[in-house]
Amino acid sequence: MSKPTHIHILGICGTFMGGIAAIAKQSGFRVTGCDTNVYPPMSTQLEAQGIELITGFGTEQLELNPDIYVIGNVVTRGNALMEEILNRNLPYVSGPQWLSETLLRDKWVLGVAGTHGKTTTASMLAWVLEHAGLNPGFLIGGVPQNFDISARITASPFFVIEADEYDTAFFDKRSKFVHYHPRTAILNNLEYDHADIFADLAAIETQFHHLVRTIPGNGLVVSNGREASLQRVIQRGCWTPVEQFGCNTGWDIDDTNLVTLNGIAQGTLNWDLLGEHNRMNALAVLAAARHAGVPATLGLEALGLFKNVKRRMEIKGVVNGITVYDDFAHHPTAIDTTVAGLRHKIGAARILAVLEPRSNTMKLGIMKDALPGSLKEADQVFCYSGNLGWDAKSALAVMGDKAVVIDDLDALIDAIAKSAVSGDHVLVMSNGGFGGIHDKLLKRLA
């Protein structure tokens, strides 16, 4: 029996590259990797799968002599190991390209693209296919609670992937999703984001059109009918059938959660998820799953059994009648829909919104003027301003006493604890770990 090919992954502890590592290992490759952030939960998840992890990017790792180096987009020029790989002309490839060419070549790829909701929608789609007995593989930027793992490869032809518009690697500035060649593509929504790499919305629309150009004629584009940006993308040229959702000329849903396709009833969505954004996600999933052979009635049945992704309005604990939630929201639109969804659920009870503006776009302050509007449904706002390059106090000044801005985490936790009373809902929003604020706050409240 021949020895499995050895890959060494630079930047292995990100969710995406960690997912590649997992499915490469499942496929019989020897997988080693390195990162600066080798700590739980990703480190324990990888080590449990027999993947060797090295802390840092030291050049001694060249002695591993892998067949190819797989490069994550956290790696930049000046990285010691990468510089030596370049100097010695050793073989290297980006994560998305390696995944596509090595493991997805013979798969029916279902890609989920969009500014918001990729992780949740991809998780829903994987679960619907699973419930239908199709045993899909998947690579998702979060942990779907129906599976309790973020990535797997199976013998099934179907593979669901979160199709990200962020750039591929320091040497490949195209969006990751152009590598995946999906047969079924969900275009969920499209707004301005990733201000660190895109000049404006038009630049992102161009990348989305690059994706549309790769979808075959026997494929399907599932597109949000309410988004002018996506209409513009498709009008640039599309060689694939398009099904719209969120409008009466395609998939739609009414106030009673009755789902229709071109005005014909398909069944009712009975589930516990909050918000209009999730109802739209569900429509996109039903359309994509139907393309893979799953009838809408079976798709609706599966969605009724869907458990949300971790870090999507996840209840971290209830202490003295105060409920603490964790949510990934970090773009003003996502913040708005998250807070509005909670408001719809809890009625008149108080919402204490706790925000860490941590994404690259938010750190640059590009969207700071949209923050007060996105937090309008909250009764009180606590903003952590550590490491920000702009003045959060002045950005939120229009909210008056409703907004508190603090640059020290312990002081922030103290302020929240002093304000919170029984019956309150504390909604913590960040796309990072936020210094372990959830557990610290729960202890402080106790």
pLDDT digits over 389-439, tens only? 788 888 898 999 999 999 899 999 999 999 999 999 999 988 778 888 999
Instruction: Report the pLDDT value the prediction gives residue 4, as an integer from 0 to 100.
Output: 67
Encoding tokens for residue 394? 């002045």
Domain spanning 6-94, CATH architecture: 3-Layer(aba) Sandwich (3.40)
Instruction: Report the pLDDT value the prediction gives residue 246, as an integer from 0 to 100.
Output: 96
Handedness of CA 336, 339, 342, 343 (dihedral sign): negative
Task: List all residues 6 or more positions away from 416 whose beta carbon is below 8 Å from its beta carbon.
Answer: 352, 354, 382, 426, 441
pLDDT at 13 over 50: yes
Sequence length of the chain is: 446
Task: List all residues 6 or more positions away from 21 whose beta carbon is below 8 Å from its beta carbon.
Answer: 9, 12, 31, 33, 46, 49, 51
Query: Which of 30, 24, 200 lies closest to 104, judged by CA?
Result: 24
Q: How far apart are CA 70 and CA 64, in angstroms?
A: 14
Supply the pTM of this predicted model.
0.80
Specify burial of residue 260 (Cβ count, 10 A radius: 0-12, 13-18, 19+).
middle
pLDDT at 58 over 60: yes
Q: How far apart are CA 404 and CA 415, in angstroms?
A: 9
Domain spanning 104-303, CATH architecture: 3-Layer(aba) Sandwich (3.40)
Q: How far apart are CA 43 and CA 10, in angstroms?
A: 14
Average the pLDDT over 319-339 and give the result.
86
**Could you tell me the CATH superfamily of domain 314-445?**
Mur ligase, C-terminal domain (3.90.190.20)
Instruction: Report the pLDDT value the prediction gives residue 61, as an integer from 0 to 100.
Output: 98
Query: Which of 46, 169, 188 lies closest to 97, judged by CA?
Result: 169
Query: Domain spans of the chain?
Result: 6-94, 104-303, 314-445
Task: Express each pLDDT in 343-354 by its tens digit.
Answer: 988 899 999 999
Task: Express each pLDDT in 221-233 by its tens digit.
Answer: 999 999 999 999 9
Instruction: Report the pLDDT value the prediction gives residue 116, as an integer from 0 to 100.
Output: 85
Largest CA distance in the chain: 70
Q: Are strands 251-253 and 158-162 parallel, antiparallel or unpaired?
A: unpaired
* One-letter amino acid of 280: M
Only one residue has tokens 């990535």, namely 151
Only one residue has tokens 């929003």, namely 429
Average the pLDDT over 165-185 and give the result.
95
Average the pLDDT over 103-121 and give the result.
94
3-state secondary structure the chain: CCCCCEEEEECCCCHHHHHHHHHHHHCCCEEEEEECCCCCCHHHHHHHCCCEEEECCCHHHHHHCCCEEEECCCCCCCCHHHHHHHHCCCCEEEHHHHHHHHCCCCCEEEEEECCCCHHHHHHHHHHHHHHCCCCCEEECCCCECCCCCCEECCCCCEEEEECCCCEEECCEEEEHHHHCCCCEEEECCCCCCCCCCCCCHHHHHHHHHHHHHCCCCCCEEEEECCCHHHHHHHHCCCCCCEEEECCCCCEEECCCCEEEECCEEEEECCCCCCCHHHHHHHHHHHHHHHHCCCCHHHHHHHHCCCCCECCCCEEEEEECCEEEEEECCCCHHHHHHHHHHHHHHHCCCCEEEEECCCCHHHHCCCCHHHHHHHCCCCCEEEEECCCCCCCHHHHCHHHHHHEEEECCHHHHHHHHHHHCCCCCEEEEECCCCHHHHHHHHHHHHC
Q: How confident is the model at residue 43 (pLDDT cuts 50, 70, 90)?
A: confident
Q: How confident is the model at residue 177 (pLDDT cuts 50, 70, 90)?
A: very high
- Examine domains 104-303 and 314-445 and report if their fold is the same: no
Q: How far apart are CA 116 and CA 78, in angstroms?
A: 32
Encoding tokens for residue 196? 């660190």
226, HSE (Cβ side, Cα atoms, 13 Å): 15
Angle at 397 between CA 392 and CA 402, to 5 degrees: 100
Task: List all residues 6 or more positions away from 240 whose beta carbon is below 8 Å from its beta carbon.
Answer: 185, 212, 215, 216, 217, 219, 220, 221
Query: Comparing 237 with 429, which gets the higher pLDDT?
Result: 237
Handedness of CA 164, 141, 385, 417 (dihedral sign): positive
